[in-house]
Structures are given as C-alpha cells and as structure tokens.
Amino acid sequence: MKKKVGAALLSVAMLSTLVACGAKSDDGANKANSADTTSKGTGKKAVITIIQNKVEIQSALEDAVKEFNKTQDKYEVQALGAAGDNLMTVLQTQFSSAPEKAPTIFTTASGSEFQKYLPYMAPLDDMKAASNIVEGQDTAARNDGKLYGLPVALEGFGLIYNKDMFKEAGVNADDIKTWDDLVAASTKLEQVKGVKKAIAYAQESYFRFMHPFNWPFALMKDTSGTIAKINAGELKLQDIPELKEYVADLDKIKDHTNLSKDTYDEQVAGFAAGQYAMIHQGNWAQGLLNDYDVKFEYGFLPVPFEGNQGIAVGNSNFFRVNKHASEDQQAGAKAFLDWLLTDPAGQHYVTDEFNFIPVYSGFDTSKMDPLSQEVNRYASEGKTVKWVFDQFPAGADQEFANQMEKYYAGKLTGEGLLEALQNVWMTAVKK
C-alpha cells in the first residue's frame, strides 16, 4: 500500500514540475492535459484527465476509468496521480500557467477553495447526476443559482477505536464524555501489551491541523461570525475562549499521542497492528483497514471536547469540471461523472471500491462497510458536528500544519501555537 501511495504522489509531483517549467508538446503529461484530441483508429477521442486528493482510492479510480473507457469510443479518460495534500499547489500551478491544459476533472473543497477556483469551473446543472443529489447537499457548490460541483461523498471523522482493546483495558467507550475521561482512558489503554500510544494523529496537513481544529471552531456558537472577525483583524485566535480551551486539552493528551509523526498510511498500519488504541481519522480509512485485513472490531468515538458526543460529518469535497477545457473534453468529463454516479457499473466503484457513502439517490447502500455504517448511524441519530474547516483560509493548510509540528516537537507552547497560527491565518487572508 505504501508503494502505491508513493507512486501516486510522485506522479503528481512530476506533473506539477512539468507544468511549472512549461512541458514540451511531446511530453506525456502535456498530452494528457491538452485540449487536443488523440487519434485512435479512424476516429478521434477527446482526452479527459482527472486529478483528486484521495490517495486511498487512486487504484480503484484507475480501474473505474478503464471500465468506462471500454463502454464508449468517444472519450479517453486518464486518471492522473492522486495529489494528496499537494492538490491545491498543483492546481494553482496548472491553472495559473495554462488553464486549458489543466485537468479536465478536479476536486476542491467548498468554502474558500470553491471561491478561489470558481473562475475555472463549468456549471453542471444539465447533468443527470445533478438531479440525483440528496436534498440540501448541493448548497455549498452553488453560486448565483448555478451548480459548480458534484459532491464526492458523505464523510465523517472522529476517533476510530479498537473495541477489543477497549474491552481488554476495561474501558467503556460510552463513559468517555469529557476530555479528562479521554486522558484517563488513554492511561489505561497504554497498559495493554503492544500499545505504544493511546492515540495517533497523521502528519498530513488535513489530518494534523484542519480536521483536529474543526472541533473548537464547529462547537462555537457563531462559527462564521467568529471567522469573519478574524479575517477582518477584529479578533485574534489566542483571544478566543474555545481555542484556548482546546489547546489546553491538547496539552493534556499530548503525551498519550504519537506526536503526529506518522504518515497516514503508517498511522492506520499502527492501528491495525495494535500499536494505537485510537486514531483520529475518517471513514475514508476503510480501504486501508481492508488492505491490512483487520480482524478486531472497531468503530467511531466522538472527540469529547466540551462534552461533544457526535462525529464530524460533511461532504465538503466536490468534483469540478474545467471550463477552459475544450467542449469535447467537458462533454466527456460529464459523461464519465454521470456514468460513475448514476450507472450501476460506476456506482459499484463508488460504494464497493472507494468505500464512499453516496450523496445521491439510486444507490444500493445495503452492503456499506463498517465505518460508513457508523457514519450513517451517527447522522440518523442527529449526533453530528458540522465541517467548518473549509472556512479556514484557502491554501494555508500546510503552513498551519507546520506550526502544529513545532508544537508537537516542544518548540511552541500552547499559547505560542495560537500566536503562530494567527500569523499564518492573517498572512493567508491578505494574499
């Protein structure tokens, strides 16, 4: 699995370099992104490229692309390497240099990322998949009444915990209602043989900062109002009570974590091997857990900040179509996405191979994986917390994560962390 992920990320790095340096017309990457069509037999096929950030689905996406290509002879879809945390950098490089050669299909979050890349997005209201979106789940992709994205999946994150290990340690997950309860449980769990640390965070920017800091922002009374004041320079992070409390809680749990040193793959591998009792992750980790053939029972545990008893659920990631691509490429992009999201053959990949929770009607969800079932359960019980990290400044996730790394390394105190994050935030807002 690590080799697969590494190869996927490498191909994106190479692609970004080619674009930044101005690839020659005969380069493969340039052909893949060109508005030209390629000849095959007596006809021509428009080349459709797709780039996205979920490394865990890349192999299955490539399989889906191959199957779609066999169903028709007008388009050739090519799955570029998954960009992971580098996606925003790659997109910015490509769209700023040659929008018509940028990927035909790309993914971004809602909020600030949506607004930043809106000038490159084609409206998708005429698509079959658009009419199947579950009510209310397309709001974040609309601008001036038009739809500019198709939601990728409903997703949830929190603490994924090893139920068998909890039993062995004598810890009842239902009893963890406060942060102090979590600290006490962590102490017990670390007495179990083979456990290195109770909790593991991953080092990638979204897993190190964006998702963990969703909790204090989402649990505020007025998240949007608070963020607006921060952006306007009227309020500093270090003066916000919820953030001060959250960092104080991080100080309490820090010694019971892996200090966010592991890659995503290593984090999940450590959990699968019994080295960690809990990982801060989402249902997208199901694919990796399947790869590691996990035998123990696992499920979601809410992060108990301020007594929270829900998991974070949202659908902030959307498929976008490049409006600067040729008409044939845009038509091909829509054809592929409609096939993926409305045709049973394509839907199979979404639910069974990507392990996604669909945000569309017409899917068979009877065989959903364990983590997806957990997300559905929390959602149906109304025990959810909103995704608000998409309101953080666009493109600043890596620099935010860099400050978290310094904090975990002991180079920043909790107060110093908030001051550093404030500087990163304001720098990003002014760009």
pLDDT bucket at 89, cuts 50 / 70 / 90: confident
Is there a domain that residue 218 lies in? Answer: yes
- Mean pLDDT of the 281-301 span: 95
Is there a domain that residue 148 lies in? Answer: yes
Exposure string of 246-268, with b = 16+ CB inside 10 Å and e = fewer, is bbebbeeeeebbbbbbbbbbbbb
Checking if the pLDDT of 81 tops 90, the result is no
pLDDT bucket at 43, cuts 50 / 70 / 90: low
Residues 89 and 65 in one domain: yes
Give every CB contact of residue 227 below 8 A, 6+ residues apart in sequence. Answer: 217, 388, 391, 392
Is there a domain that residue 70 lies in? Answer: yes
390 secondary structure, DSSP code: G
pLDDT bucket at 38, cuts 50 / 70 / 90: very low
Give every CB contact of residue 134 below 8 A, 6+ residues apart in sequence. Answer: 359, 360, 361
Measured CA angle at 395 (ends 384, 53), to 5 deg: 65
Rounded-to-integer distance, Cα 206 and Cα 282, Å: 11
Checking if the pLDDT of 136 tops 90, the result is no
3-state secondary structure of 197: strand
pLDDT bucket at 121, cuts 50 / 70 / 90: very high
Is there a domain that residue 78 lies in? Answer: yes
Residues 351 and 419 in one domain: no
- Mean pLDDT of the 102-125 span: 95
Residue pLDDT, tens place only, 341-398: 999 999 999 999 998 999 999 998 888 899 998 998 888 788 999 999 989 998 899 9
The residue out of 306, 338, 364 marking a domain boundary is 364
Residues 271 and 150 in one domain: no
Q: Show the domain range for 199.
A: 155-314+381-430
Structurally, how many domains does the chain consist of? Answer: 2
- So what's the pLDDT on residue 28? 35
Helix, strand, coil content of the chain in percent (nearest 5): 55, 15, 30
Checking if the pLDDT of 280 tops 70, the result is yes
Checking if the pLDDT of 319 tops 60, the result is yes
> What share of the chain has pLDDT > 70, as a percent?
89
Residues 294 and 354 in one domain: no
Checking if the pLDDT of 51 tops 70, the result is yes
Q: Which amino acid is it at 339?
A: W
Residues 71 and 10 in one domain: yes
Sequence-separated contacts (24+) of 23-31 with Cβ below 8 Å: 30/101
Exposure string of 366-391, with b = 16+ CB inside 10 Å and e = fewer, is eebbbbbbbbbebbeeeebbbbbbbb
- So what's the pLDDT on residue 221? 93
Is there a domain that residue 294 lies in? Answer: yes
Residues 92 and 110 in one domain: yes
Is there a domain that residue 132 lies in? Answer: yes
Give the chain's radius of gyration (CA, Å).
Answer: 22
Sign of CA dihedral 332, 334, 335, 336: positive
Q: Which amino acid is it at 190?
A: E
Question: What's the predicted TM-score (pTM) here?
Answer: 0.75
Checking if the pLDDT of 2 tops 80, the result is no
- So what's the pLDDT on residue 365? 83
Is there a domain that residue 376 lies in? Answer: no
C-alpha dihedral, 80 to 394 to 216 to 371, nearest 10°: -10
Task: Give yes or no for a contact between 147 and 319, defined as CB atoms under 8 angstroms apart.
Answer: no
Return the CATH number at 75: 3.40.190.10
Residues 289 and 167 in one domain: yes
Residues 323 and 411 in one domain: no
Closest to 16 in 3D by CA, of 98, 77, 105: 98
- So what's the pLDDT on residue 88? 87
DSSP state string for 290-301: HHTT--S-EEEE
At 30, which helix (H) or strand (E)?
helix 28-33
Residues 286 and 185 in one domain: yes
Residue pLDDT, tens place only, 232-270: 999 999 999 999 999 999 999 999 999 999 999 999 999
Residues 141 and 231 in one domain: no
Residues 133 and 266 in one domain: no
142 secondary structure, DSSP code: E
Rounded-to-integer distance, Cα 388 and Cα 131, Å: 26
Is there a domain that residue 371 lies in? Answer: no
Checking if the pLDDT of 67 tops 90, the result is yes
Q: Where are the alpha helices (DSSP H) in 179-326?
A: 179-189, 205, 214-218, 223-231, 241-253, 264-272, 286-291
Residue pLDDT, tens place only, 174-231: 999 999 999 999 999 999 999 999 999 999 999 999 999 999 999 999 999 999 999 9
Rounded-to-integer distance, Cα 1 and Cα 249, Å: 34
Residues 74 and 215 in one domain: no
**Average pLDDT over the chain, rounded to whole?**
90
